[in-house]
Amino acid sequence: MAMPLKVSDLMSYVNPVTSDTPVAKVAEIMKEEFTSIVPVVDESGRIKGVIYAEDLLAPFIPDFFDLIEDFDYVTSFGALDVDVFSDFTYKLFLAEDVMQTKFRYLKPEDSVLKAIFYIVKERRTCLIVVDEKMTYKGIITRLAILKRLYGNGK
């Protein structure tokens, strides 16, 4: 009988950042490490929050957009297109300004089935992994799970 898969079997490591890291640096980590999640930790390595790629994109969306259900009738936003992308003030934001402090996390000993459940249910690309003291341990990505499930067990 095959051993049950644990989160630690598929876990990988992404360099964490601290609260005062500029978001531009966070974006650079995402780009260089091919990740859509960056953990935010304190000096002792305890997790304080997570930043998803969406959290870096969200500030570009004008606040009033959430009042409109869809934009099927718009092809070009005119002056708004120019306004939004010419505003570089977002680059001055720090990690603590955009990080999510309430987030789903897993333990290394958790079953991969639990990871699959949350990834599917919450439509995430990856989840953070911490130990019982909330110390950052790594991440588990849906790609890693996919590779394992559809890659002949490798």
Partner 1 sequence: MEMGSNVQLLIGIFVVAFLLIAFEKWHRTTVSFFSAILVIVLGFLTPEEAWNFIDFNTLGLLLGMMIIVAFFRRTGFFEFVAIKAIRISKGNFFALFFFFFMLTGFVSAFLDNVTTVLIFSPIIILVARMTGISPFPFLVGEIIASNLGGTATLIGDPPNIIIGSAANLSFNDFVVNLTLPVLLVMVITVYFLKFLFKNKYKIDGKFDLSTVKIDERGAIKDRVLLFKTLGVFFFVIVGFILHDRLHLLPSIVALTGAVLLLFVTNYDPEKLLHEVEWTTLFFFGGLFVLVGALEKFHVIENLANLLLRFSRGELGLILVVSLLSFVFTVIMGAIPFVVTMVPILQSIITKTPGIHANALWWTLSLSACFMGNATLIAAAANLVVAGISEKTQDKITFKNYLKYGLLSSIVSFLIALLYIIIRYYVIK
Which residues here bind partner 1, judged by CB under 8 A?
A: 62-64, 66-70, 72-81, 83
| Alpha-carbon dihedral sign for residues 138, 142, 145, 147 | negative
Measured from the CB atom, is 65 or 150 closer to partner 1? Answer: 65
CA–CA distance, 98 with 140 (Å, rounded to integer): 21
Q: How far is the CB of 100 from partner 1 (least distance, A)?
A: 21
Measured from the CB atom, is 62 or 147 closer to partner 1? Answer: 62
Residues found in the chain: 154
H helix or E strand, kind and range, residue 97:
helix 95-98
| CB distance 137 to 129 below 8 Å | yes
Q: How far is the CB of 77 from partner 1 (least distance, A)?
A: 5
Q: How far is the CB of 82 from partner 1 (least distance, A)?
A: 8
Measured from the CB atom, is 78 or 153 closer to partner 1? Answer: 78
| CB distance 117 to 15 below 8 Å | no
Measured from the CB atom, is 24 or 80 closer to partner 1? Answer: 80
Q: What is the DSSP string of 19-64?
A: TTSBHHHHHHHHHHTT-SEEEEE-TTSBEEEEEEHHHHHGGGS-GG
Q: How far is the CB of 89 from partner 1 (least distance, A)?
A: 13
